[in-house]
Amino acid sequence: MHGARPISQRHRALKRAAPRLSTVGSAGFDIGGIGPAALAIAPDEFANRRRQLMQMAGDDAVMLVAAAPERMRNADAAWPYRQDSDFHYLTGFPEPAAVLALLPGRQHGEAVLFCRERDPVYERWHGESIGTERAVTEFGMDDAFPIEDIDDILPGMIEGRARVYCHFGSVPEFDARLLDWMRRLRQLRGGGVVPKEFVALGHLLHDLRLYKSRAELKLMRASAAVAVDAHLAALQVAVPGRREYEVEAELLRAMRSRGAVSAFAPTVAAGANACVMHYQSNRAVLREGELLLIDAGAELDCYASDISRTFPVGGRYSREQRALYEVVLAAQLAAIDEVRPGLPFNASHTAAVRVLAEGLCQLGLLRGSADAAIADESYKRFFPAKTGHWLGMDVHDVGDYRVGGESRVLEPNMVLTVEPGLYIAPDDYSVAERWRGIGIRIEDDVAVTRDGHEVLTERMPKEAEAIEALLAARSTG
Ligand SMILES: [Mn+2]
């Protein structure tokens, strides 16, 4: 991994040589000597998370977490499967049709998994299942049962417990089953006692997920490395005349060839399309003189990265593009400086807004002073977004942004994005025509360390000269 270097030094390094792609062999990753085995999260860590959660919930509780259902795209064609983040966090178990029950203090085992039993006929069509046996031997469960038997077994396990922690209101099928289990519990011989309380599991679980472990940070660095490679590859093909989706294809190729998937549908926005915050149609032609904004991230073993860069299709920023770019870059660097333990989450936003407002005033895009633009929020016309979000298994990761009405104080091992931007709408007649239709965002992934921060995506150049140098060196064949 690349340590933090002063900008001037980084500049020199970039001028000397174009950034190298991470070395990737057919076996998967080889990033800084980390092999695929070293990247995987160990069964012990999953067990620790379960233990921690049970401790938080108390002995009279039960926690129920369902695997993500398979989702249909149309007719009988399913979307590519993605495990539920909470379920993955607690099990590492990659299949649908599974439910984890955590039963603190249960004599015959606290961590119980209901999952698909192995079945040769099913496996003939869908490939190997893990099965209840390996759920115990390989995934560290205390006990496992076929998912078909859950209605008969689970209600009896819940009996006598005071609180059920689970997610309700997100997957209707799970809500319906939960109610059915309660009905069955009540009908148990002698009349079962239904838990008195239903508690949202997120309050406990999502606070755990906010702090990344060493193994998770390793995965997030690897995910970031794939995203950097994807952006570098995309930049090579983003020449005038190509379509946005051709650039998207290059991003996806780079990710898939490293065993990752796209963490979200990439934004590849040429020219004024960049002023649409979540532009995803990706169909327009790239034109000389326009900027291209790419917002794309990889997902590796369920861990996301999220990078945005904005560069000139023709290879050189115009005077106006460059002026705005320098403002966004200065805002981003100032915002990253505010990522340190002890500072509130919103400090980076405050810093970014200050630099953006000053820049907008200096360039004459806003009248009056930066203080006034911040006070009356007129800067929001050009920057309507927040400067960042938590990053983890979900690209907009879980975790509270405010605690007791105050912005959350950053602590080591939290990971967030820093992504200020400026977006001048093509029909904003309040500014001179030469500014209109320029959209710029610069986004990096930043982990809070004990004494500051680590920019996980640092290898991706962002200084204007460095980007122009990269573009000048590309083979436009
Ligand atoms: Mn983002």
Q: Kindly state whether residues 222 and 199 are assigned to the same domain.
A: no
Domain span at residue 430 reads 8-23+213-473
How many angstroms is it from 308 CA to the middle of ligand 1? 8
**pLDDT (tens digit, 9 = 90+) per residue, 321-372?**
999 999 999 999 999 999 999 999 999 999 999 999 999 999 999 999 999 9
- The yes-or-no verdict on residue 9 having pLDDT over 50 is no
pLDDT of the residue at 40: 86
CATH number for the domain that contains residue 167:
3.40.350.10
Q: What is the mean pLDDT of residues 118-147?
A: 96
Residue 468 lies in a domain: yes
Q: Kindly state whether residues 255 and 318 are assigned to the same domain.
A: yes
Q: Are 412 and 343 in contact (CB under 8 A)?
A: no
Residue 192 lies in a domain: yes
For the chain, what is the largest distance between any 2 Cα atoms, rounded to a whole number of angstroms?
Answer: 81
Q: Kindly state whether residues 146 and 259 are assigned to the same domain.
A: no
How many angstroms is it from 395 CA to the middle of ligand 1? 7
Q: Report the residue count for the chain.
A: 477
How many angstroms is it from 196 CA to the middle of ligand 1? 40
- The yes-or-no verdict on residue 15 having pLDDT over 50 is no
Q: Kindly state whether residues 13 and 50 are assigned to the same domain.
A: no
**pLDDT (tens digit, 9 = 90+) per residue, 88-118?**
999 999 999 999 999 999 999 999 999 999 9
How many angstroms is it from 264 CA to the middle of ligand 1? 10
Residue 305 lies in a domain: yes
Residue 35 lies in a domain: no
Q: In 225-342, at which residue ranges do the beta strands (DSSP E only) sit?
A: 261-262, 267-270, 291-296, 298-300, 303-304, 307-312
Q: Kindly state whether residues 289 and 437 are assigned to the same domain.
A: yes
CA–CA gap between residue 105 and residue 120 (Å, rounded): 36
pLDDT of the residue at 354: 98
Find residue 258's DSSP bridge partners.
none
pLDDT of the residue at 38: 59
Q: Which residue, 168, 186, 208, sits at the end of a domain?
A: 208
If you ran DSSP here, which 8-state letter would residue 390 be given?
B
Q: Which residue, 167, 191, 208, sits at the end of a domain?
A: 208
Q: CB within 8 A of 164, min separation 6: which ones?
A: 61, 62, 63, 64, 158, 178, 195, 197, 198, 199
How many angstroms is it from 310 CA to the middle of ligand 1? 14
How many angstroms is it from 22 CA to the middle of ligand 1? 22
Residue 66 lies in a domain: yes
Q: Kindly state whether residues 133 and 87 are assigned to the same domain.
A: yes
Q: What is the pTM of this model?
A: 0.91
CATH number for the domain that contains residue 239:
3.90.230.10
How many angstroms is it from 389 CA to the middle of ligand 1? 7
Q: Kindly state whether residues 116 and 217 are assigned to the same domain.
A: no
CA–CA gap between residue 65 and residue 475 (Å, rounded): 51
How many angstroms is it from 282 CA to the middle of ligand 1? 18
pLDDT of the residue at 28: 39
- The yes-or-no verdict on residue 6 having pLDDT over 60 is no
Q: Are 295 and 280 in contact (CB under 8 A)?
A: no
How many angstroms is it from 132 CA to the middle of ligand 1? 38
Q: How many Cβ atoms from other residues are within 10 Å of residue 54's Cβ? A: 22
How many angstroms is it from 41 CA to the middle of ligand 1? 25
What proportion of the chain, given as a percentage, has pLDDT over 90? 87
Residue 28 lies in a domain: no
Q: Which residue, 193, 208, 223, sits at the end of a domain?
A: 208
Query: Average pLDDT over the chain, rounded to whole?
Result: 92
How many angstroms is it from 306 CA to the middle of ligand 1? 5
How many angstroms is it from 385 CA to the middle of ligand 1? 11
How many angstroms is it from 419 CA to the middle of ligand 1? 7
Residue 37 lies in a domain: no
How many angstroms is it from 329 CA to the middle of ligand 1? 16
Q: Kindly state whether residues 203 and 318 are assigned to the same domain.
A: no
- The yes-or-no verdict on residue 8 having pLDDT over 90 is no
Q: Kindly state whether residues 247 and 377 are assigned to the same domain.
A: yes
Q: Kindly state whether residues 204 and 217 are assigned to the same domain.
A: no
Q: Kindly state whether residues 200 and 262 are assigned to the same domain.
A: no
How many angstroms is it from 223 CA to the middle of ligand 1? 14
How many angstroms is it from 417 CA to the middle of ligand 1? 6
Q: What's the distance, Cα to Cα, between the start and end of the chain in Å?
A: 33
Report the number of distinct structural domains present in the chain: 2
CA–CA gap between residue 465 and residue 322 (Å, rounded): 10
How many angstroms is it from 445 CA to the middle of ligand 1? 8
Q: Which residue has the higher pLDDT, 261 or 5?
A: 261
Q: Kindly state whether residues 201 and 251 are assigned to the same domain.
A: no
Amino acid identity of residue 157, one-letter, is M
Residue 29 lies in a domain: no
Q: Which residue has the higher pLDDT, 65 or 15?
A: 65
The long-range contacts involving 171-178, CB below 8 angstroms and separated by at least 24 positions, are: 171/66, 171/69, 173/69, 174/66, 177/151, 178/64
